[in-house]
Structure 1
Amino acid sequence: MAFILALFAISLASGFLIPVTLAFLLFFVFARLRRSMVRRKIPAGIAAGLIVLTVVVAVALVLMAIATPASQLLDRIPEITGRLESKIQGLRGSISLLDAAVMQLRRNGDPESAVVTSSAFIAIVTAMPELVGQVFFVLCLLFFLILCGDLLYLKIVQSFDALSDKRAAYKALRDIEDSLGQYLGAITVINVGLGVAIGLAMWALGMPSPAVFGLMAFLFNFVPYLGAIAGALVATFVALMTFFGIGYPLFVGLVYMALTAIEGQLITPYYVSRRLRMNPVVVFGAIALGAYLWSIVGMVVAVPLLVVTSVIADHLPALHKFANFLSGESPPLLATTDTPT
């Protein structure tokens, strides 16, 4: 019952916990950079401001890269409707769901659809103040965390009585920094390479806006497993709208899946430290739970939170078995002995 109540509280307080979690994760990611800047005689306030400004610029560039193709896609809805209808013309009698989807898309040109579109637009505009407020909260909290990072560590360490506990707490904080930095740094570099590879592949296959697919692959791949599936489905759908027939669009989706499979099965295990690999079952469960509690943001932060949880469990003797369960390392083989019959 305590676990259920905790989940309910986490879901209920999502408006507060999501920005706080994002700010603390970003703090641990940039903590080593902040310490390096301070060692070079850069004042802590300026270092914090530069780091927050870098985050703002990066987010703005990503949003600008997404906004243009999204608006172009909305303008092409009538064309997409006609192509989709022609694709499934022969399947209408047997696939009612697809027929309903076509009828819904066809209503985009009707006056009634304008009301639906207007309602959606109003809902987006209504949600914008809350979203902007949460983003501003994340940036402000991140600034103060970076500004007072050493003081925060000192207060956490001083909350323990025994000297051994103080050392263990400080080592745990530094290990969280190192683990999150290594994991997110490696994953970011890998995702950049995957985005370039998929963008080039989409360009070679004649897909429209291949750079957008590269950016999509880069962003989606921060969500293990589900991100690759979602990206492949989007690529297949766009290919269906672009090319005639079904075989070539399916081939486009298979190419996308093949590249993500190479990344997930060969490249990531090679470059990500074995100590940071997570149990795939736990990862998938954490992503599903994060999506249930915090929607898309929960899916993105699920694995970094697992990394933090694994590091904390490694430093607590009572949780060593739990840390072993979270780990993706193969357990040692059990020794077998022949017993006489």
Structure 2
Amino acid sequence: MLLAGIFILTGIYALYFARDFVMPVVLAFLLALMLTPIVRFLKKRGMPEALSATLLVLLSVGAIGSAGYFLSGPVVQLANDAPAIGRRITARLSELRHPFEKFVEASHQVEKVTETAQEPGVQRVVLAQPGIISQAAGNLLSGATTAAITFVLSLFLLASGTLFYEKIVQSFTRLSEKKRALRIVYDVEREISRYLLTVAIINAGLGVVIALGLWALGMPNPAVWGVAAAALNFLPYVGALATVLLVAAMSLISFDTLSYALLAPAFVVMCNIIEGQLVTPLVVGRRLEINAVAIFIAVAFWSWLWGFVGALIAVPLLVIVKVFCDHFDSWSNVGNFLSAHQGQEQAEIDAETEASRAGTTA
């Protein structure tokens, strides 16, 4: 147990400090798993794997680039208007600030007392922070490098076909181990590709519906909020809440009356409830339903480890872990914990208990 704990802590340490390398590799594998069924479908129709992989990767890059180009104008405009938007939101919420004004004033007084209590000969050292432009340039370069590694590696994985799987199988010596490894690999591919494709299509549909609904309500820049809703919905629970808060903030400064301003966030809440409670469970099915506690822990952990990208891939990685655990008896308890429904044994015990109670009552 001690060695296992040391190994886990060392692995977390390595994942944190090697995130610039490991993160695009993980993203590439997830993207390749999602697009593999399409490549195989096209292969059955006579298209070579290298050609179909290249077309799919180029289409993905083109779609993301086109969306970024068309949305860059409204996003830049929102960024430029951020100070004015903040002042207008503050003015609309001024009634809610009165209970906290005394607390804010007291904190300012404490800061003044702390500053005046310093010795007269002591110099204060302030570390110079990098400018906004340099930070933005660094983030842009890092994001471009991550995207390049992700798409190029996913292209190689898709174009190689089953070569990667063959290498995994060849690493085992016994025939039973080869069969088991191949079964696990194909199950992971099937489940994660089905999950990612399904969730991506559902989120895209949710974004379109929200964009059209906000456009009908007269909300400015409805396409931006539709794309934001589709992207943030990959974050369980937190993404939907963030979308509602953003839309509510913009709605407060866009409409004159408070009652009409609440229509936009109410519409977003309704769409998220329908998607989360009806559409996704019906389409995805119960096989890949994950325990809400496990989802929350995974999102919190990966967001701390890799930021926003880590939060996006937390649930797909959790699905992969669950599929692995379902193939090993020694890890069945972990798979049962990750599952959102009761295990088969517990269901049988509950059924026997209900039957015995019914017999006793009779």
Are 1:218 and 2:218 an aligned pair?
Answer: no
Are 1:86 and 2:98 an aligned pair?
Answer: no
Specify the code of the residue in structure 1 equivalent to 2:159. L
d(CA) in 2 for partners of 1:249 and 1:5?
Answer: 50
Corresponding residue number in structure 1 for 2:187 = 175
Segments of 5+ residues of structure 1 without an aligned counterpart are: 101-115
Are 1:4 and 2:16 an aligned pair?
Answer: no
Give the match's secondary structure for 2:235: coil
Corresponding residue number in structure 2 for 1:58 = 63
The percentage of aligned residue pairs carrying the same residue is 35
CA deviation after TM superposition for structure 1 residue 98, in Å: 11
Specify the code of the residue in structure 2 equivalent to 1:94. P
Larger radius of gyration: 2
- Number of residue pairs matched? 325
Corresponding residue number in structure 1 for 2:52 = 47
1:201–1:90 distance in 2 versus 1, CA, 3 Å? same
> Contact (CA 8 Å) 1:88, 1:98: kept in 2 or not?
no
Corresponding residue number in structure 2 for 1:38 = 43
Are 1:266 and 2:271 an aligned pair?
Answer: no
Specify the code of the residue in structure 2 equivalent to 1:299. A
> Contact (CA 8 Å) 2:89, 2:249: kept in 1 or not?
no
Corresponding residue number in structure 2 for 1:321 = 333
d(CA) in 2 for partners of 1:14 and 1:264?
Answer: 31
Range moving further from structure 2, 152-161 or 329-338: 329-338
Corresponding residue number in structure 1 for 2:210 = 198
1:273–1:98 distance in 2 versus 1, CA, 3 Å? farther
Range moving further from structure 2, 227-236 or 88-97: 88-97
Which runs of structure 2 are paired with 1:125-274 in the superposition (5 Å)? 125-274=137-286
> Contact (CA 8 Å) 2:25, 2:153: kept in 1 or not?
yes
Give the match's secondary structure for 1:330: coil
> Contact (CA 8 Å) 1:28, 1:181: kept in 2 or not?
yes
The CA RMSD over aligned residues, in Å, is 2.6
d(CA) in 2 for partners of 1:223 and 1:28?
Answer: 19
Range moving further from structure 2, 130-139 or 301-310: 130-139
d(CA) in 2 for partners of 1:68 and 1:239?
Answer: 20
1:240–1:97 distance in 2 versus 1, CA, 3 Å? farther
Give the match's secondary structure for 2:99: coil
> Contact (CA 8 Å) 1:92, 1:99: kept in 2 or not?
no
d(CA) in 2 for partners of 1:225 and 1:326?
Answer: 17
CA deviation after TM superposition for structure 1 residue 43, in Å: 2.9
TM-score, normalised via structure 2 length = 0.82
Moved over 6 A (4+): 97-100
CA deviation after TM superposition for structure 1 residue 88, in Å: 3.6
> Contact (CA 8 Å) 1:92, 1:98: kept in 2 or not?
no
d(CA) in 1 for partners of 2:293 and 2:257?
Answer: 37
Corresponding residue number in structure 2 for 1:112 = none
CA deviation after TM superposition for structure 1 residue 72, in Å: 1.6
TM-score, normalised via structure 1 length = 0.87
> Contact (CA 8 Å) 2:75, 2:224: kept in 1 or not?
no
1:91–1:318 distance in 2 versus 1, CA, 3 Å? closer
CA deviation after TM superposition for structure 1 residue 197, in Å: 2.1
